Amino acid sequence: MKTTELLFSYGTLQTPSVQIETFGRELVGYEDRLLDYKLEMVEIQDKSVVELSGASHHPIAVVNQGETVQGKVFKITTEELAQSDKYEVSDYQRILGKMLSGTPAWVYVKANQKAYSKI
């Protein structure tokens, strides 16, 4: 039996074409909010990511007490979580984020900042 992971996305991993290329399928998710973060924009240097996403600038979550970021939580496998790690560029790091729903989920946030739980 495959282990299920929860992955919160506020950006391009919500796009069906990115999901199909990254995971080989469209993901099913539910709305939730990441606590104590806000969104900024980052310029993506990886041409393959820009080509796949269709955007040269992507949102990036940065720590900001009291703010929330809207997005979706997807149920994925451990293998798919590893695939999402390959998709995300070095500007991001994966942490276990606190969700409004109370259920923790993996989320990619700005690298090298204070985080709740780094991998």
What's the mean pLDDT in 73-83?
96
The DSSP H or E segment spanning 83 is helix 78-87
Say what the pLDDT of residue 1 is: 54
Task: Give the architecture (CATH level 2) of 4-110.
Answer: Roll (3.10)
Average pLDDT over residues 19-24: 94
Tell me what the pLDDT averaged over the chain comes to.
90
Q: Domain spans of the chain? A: 4-110
Segment 37-53, tens digit of pLDDT: 999 988 888 888 888 88
15 burial type by CB count under 10 A (0-12 exposed, 13-18 middle, 19+ buried): middle
- Residue 117: what pLDDT? 47
Query: What pLDDT, on a 0 to 100 scale, did the predictor assign at position 119?
Result: 42
